[in-house]
Amino acid sequence: MFGDLWGGDGGLFVGAFGALFGIASVVVGLGFVAVIVTVVVRSSRMAKRGQNPFTLQEDLAHQAMQSQAFAPATSLEQRLAELDDLHARGVISDDEHRAARADALGG
C-alpha cells in the first residue's frame, strides 16, 4: 500500500518533490534547533546576572511602576518651596536660588 510513496517508479518522494521536501525538512529542523539554542543561551546569561528568565517581565513592570517615570510631577509651589528650603539651609547660594527660581517660573 505505501510502497509507491517511498520509491519505485513514480513514487511521491522521488525526484524534485523529494529533494524539495528534504530541503524543507532540514530548514525546519535547523529552525527548531536555533530556537532551542537561543533560549538556552539567553536563559543562562540571565541566570548569571541573577535574573530569573521566567519572572523577568513582572520584575521589569514592578521596577517601572516604582520609578519616577510614573510619579506625578511636582507642582510649581512644591518646587519653589524646595528651592527656598535649600537656600535657607545654605545648600545653594543666593545667585543659584535666583537662577533656579527663574528657571522654575519660566519653564
Distance CA 5, CA 17 (A): 12
Q: For residue 12, what pLDDT is reported?
A: 61
Q: Are residues 61 and 22 in the same domain?
A: yes
- pLDDT tens by residue, 57-89: 888 888 888 887 777 777 888 889 999 999 999
CB 84 within 8 A of CB 67: no
- The answer to whether the CB of 65 falls within 8 A of the CB of 44 is no
Q: Are both 82 and 45 inside the same structural domain?
A: no
**32 with 40: CB under 8 angstroms?**
no
| Residues 77 and 67 occupy one common structural domain | no
Same domain, 57 and 83: no
**Secondary-structure percent of the chain, ordered helix, strand, coil, rounded to 5:** 70, 0, 30
Number of domains in the chain: 2
Whether 29 maps to a domain, the answer reads yes
pTM, two decimals, is 0.46
Range of the domain at 88: 72-107
